[in-house]
Amino acid sequence: MNFTISEENYLKAIFHLQEKDGTVTTNALAEKLQTKPASVTDMMKKLSAKKLLNYKPYYGFSLSAEGKKIALFIVRRHRLWEYFLSEKLKFDWNEVHALAEELEHVSSKQLIDRLDQYLGFPQFDPHGDPIPDHKGKIKNVNKISLFDLPFNQMAEVLQVTNQSTEMLELLEHKNITIGTRLEVKKHFDFDHSVELKIKTTTLTISEQLAKNIFVTYEPGA
Amino acid sequence: MNFTISEENYLKAIFHLQEKDGTVTTNALAEKLQTKPASVTDMMKKLSAKKLLNYKPYYGFSLSAEGKKIALFIVRRHRLWEYFLSEKLKFDWNEVHALAEELEHVSSKQLIDRLDQYLGFPQFDPHGDPIPDHKGKIKNVNKISLFDLPFNQMAEVLQVTNQSTEMLELLEHKNITIGTRLEVKKHFDFDHSVELKIKTTTLTISEQLAKNIFVTYEPGA
DNA sequence: ATTATTTTTTAGGTTTGTCTAAATTTTAAA
DNA sequence: TTTAAAATTTAGACAAACCTAAAAAATAAT
User: What string of DSSP letters covers A70-132?
Assistant: HHHHHHHHHHHHHHHHHHTS---HHHHHHHHHHHTT---HHHHHHHHHHTT--SB-TTSPBPP
Residues A12, A124: Cα–Cα separation, whole Å: 18
Residues B187, B211: Cα–Cα separation, whole Å: 13
Q: How far is A114 from chain B (nearest CA, A)?
A: 6
**How large a percentage of chain A has pLDDT more than 70?**
99
Domain edges within chain B: 5-63, 144-216
Residue A198 pLDDT exceeds 70: yes
Average pLDDT of span B41-53: 97
Beta strands A201-205 and A213-216: pairing type?
unpaired
**How large a percentage of chain B has pLDDT more than 70?**
99
Residue B221 pLDDT exceeds 90: no
Q: For the purposes of burial, counting CB atoms within 10 Å of the CB of B179, is it exposed (0-12), middle (13-18) or buried (19 or more)?
A: exposed
Q: Where are the alpha helices (DSSP H) in chain A?
A: 5-21, 26-32, 37-49, 65-87, 93-103, 109-118, 165-173, 207-211
Nearest residue to B153 via CA among B203, B98, B221: B221
Displacement of CA A115 from its chain's centroid (Å):
19
Chain B residues with CB inside 8 Å of A115's CB? Answer: 89
Average pLDDT of span A174-189: 93
Q: Is the CB of A60 under 7 A from strand C?
A: yes
DSSP assignment letter at A35: S
Query: Are B106 and A103 within 8 A, CB to CB?
Result: yes
Decide if A95 contacts A85 (C-beta within 8 A). Answer: yes
Average pLDDT of span A149-160: 92
Chain A residues with CB inside 8 Å of B103's CB? Answer: 103, 106
Residue-wise pLDDT for B52-100, tens only, equals 999 999 998 999 999 999 999 999 999 999 999 999 999 988 899 999 9
Strand partners, A181: A156
Decide if A193 contacts A204 (C-beta within 8 A). Answer: yes
Decide if B214 contacts B161 (C-beta within 8 A). Answer: yes
Beta strands B194-198 and B181-187: pairing type?
antiparallel
Q: Is the CB of A27 under 7 A from strand C?
A: yes
Average pLDDT, chain A: 94
Residue B126 pLDDT exceeds 80: yes
Residue A208's pLDDT is 95
Residue A220 pLDDT exceeds 80: no
Residue-wise pLDDT for A43-100, tens only, equals 999 999 999 999 999 998 999 999 999 999 999 999 999 999 999 999 988 899 999 9
Decide if B186 contacts B117 (C-beta within 8 A). Answer: no
Decide if A146 contacts A213 (C-beta within 8 A). Answer: yes
Q: Tell me which nucleotides of strand D come within 7 A of a protein CB.
A: 7-12, 16-22, 25-26
Contacts 24+ apart (CB under 8 A), B50-59: B52/B11, B53/B14
Residue B159 pLDDT exceeds 90: no
Q: How confident is the model at residue A161 (pLDDT cuts 50, 70, 90)?
A: confident
Residues A144, A214: Cα–Cα separation, whole Å: 5
Q: What are phi and psi of A102, to 5 degrees?
A: -85, -45
Residue B22's pLDDT is 84
Q: How confident is the model at residue B218 (pLDDT cuts 50, 70, 90)?
A: confident
Give the residue whose CA sits closest to C8 at C1': A58
Residues A83, A77: Cα–Cα separation, whole Å: 10
Decide if B31 contacts B40 (C-beta within 8 A). Answer: no
H or E segment to which residue B69 belongs: helix B65-87
Nearest residue to B115 via CA among B175, B64, A43, B106: B106
The 3-state DSSP class for residue B25 equals: coil
Query: Are A115 and B89 within 8 A, CB to CB?
Result: yes
Residue A142 pLDDT exceeds 90: no
Nearest residue to A174 via CA among B20, A166, A149: A166
Residue B128 pLDDT exceeds 70: yes
Residue A22's pLDDT is 85
Q: Is the CB of B49 under 7 A from strand D?
A: no
Nearest residue to A210 via CA among A128, A127, A142, A147: A147
Q: CA dist A106 to A100, B13, B77, Å?
A: 10, 20, 14
Average pLDDT of span A207-215: 94
* B144-216 has the same fold as B5-63: no
Average pLDDT of span B129-145: 92
Residues A52, A61: Cα–Cα separation, whole Å: 10
Terminal Cα-to-Cα distance of chain A (whole angstroms): 44
Decide if A52 contacts A11 (C-beta within 8 A). Answer: yes
Strand partners, A197: A183, A202
Decide if A131 contacts A122 (C-beta within 8 A). Answer: yes
Architecture of the structural domain at A144-216: Roll (2.30)
Residues A183, B178: Cα–Cα separation, whole Å: 52
Residue A178 pLDDT exceeds 90: no
Query: Which positions 50-89 on chain B have a beta carbon less than 7 angstroms from any atom of strand C?
Result: 58-59
> Would you tell me which CATH number, out of the four given (1.10.10.1100, 3.40.50.720, 1.10.1740.10, 1.10.10.10), belongs to the domain A5-63?
1.10.10.10
Beta strands A181-187 and A155-160: pairing type?
antiparallel
ipTM of the complex: 0.86
Query: Are B90 and A114 within 8 A, CB to CB?
Result: yes
By C1' distance from the Cα of B7, the closest nucleotide is C17
Average pLDDT of span B38-59: 96
Residue A170's pLDDT is 93
Average pLDDT of span B99-114: 96
- Residue B60 CA to nucleotide C19 C1', Å? 22
